[in-house]
Structure 1
Amino acid sequence: MTSLQKILLVLCLVVLNSCGLIKRPFEYQEIPFDIPIPYGATEENAIFEACQEVAKDKQNECFNEQLEQHVKTHLKYPRKALAKRIEGVVNVHFRLNTDGSVSIMAVHGSNKILEEEAAFIINSLPCLIPAKINGQAVPFYFTYPITFKLPDSRK
């Protein structure tokens, strides 16, 4: 490499660095905890109280089982939907807050009646143990599909 090439390389690096385009390899950046974090991207995921005594590697499975059980227990097919023979899948996008409570962010389904019931089911979740990063509780998003299937009248 010639002297001129070295000088051009150094000048390019100086310009890139001054523009903030080069990140220092050991620069530490704090995570802003007011930004909800996707499920599974935390050191400790949110869990139901029933999952506290479960081994760490089984807590996600326990969380999913508890959530599924909660939905099955609390799902009451809306009478209007039964009368109109409405069925479908509703995706509930919710945030688990730092205090363990739930906030519904969005509900997407094929019918408003089913959307309302799905939101009610998720809103009735018990207070959870929040997710944590560096020992600090953090909010995070979760999406759960709830299937509304009409009972088979031929049975």
Structure 2
Amino acid sequence: MTTLEPAAVADLVRNTLAAHKSLFLATSGSTGPWVGGVYFAESDEFTLNLVLEDRGRTLTAIRENPLVSVVVSTGSPMQPFLQAQAVAEILTADEDARVRELLVGKVPEAAPFLAAPVTAVRLTVPKWRATDVANGLLPGVELPGPRRP
């Protein structure tokens, strides 16, 4: 097992987020658990921005239970990946334009999706668990986020 200094773990998290355009988002509402893939853009390593279909199962579940889980991964356990729980916040119309700007800046191919009826959502991640099996990080290491009120 390899150990990393906190700065190296932060770099791993930032680099992994930067290398991915989408993540897996797990929710749980009255219809049960659900996992979907969604494009995202990070404001920082603990704040992720995305849009969800207005009438989709994922947004409905978030309205019922804002505690979600995320995985940022290629899908291969041999590539670096991130896991976390997060709190989802449905954003106001005032914040919607900024989320769309961030999203298209990172993921230009998401632009046509923004023409559909979608709602902006922010995920606040209290801590990440970063795993990089190929470089000896198994089990993964945690990167705690800033303390928030």
Bigger radius of gyration among the two: 1
TM-score when normalising by structure 2: 0.27
TM-score when normalising by structure 1: 0.27
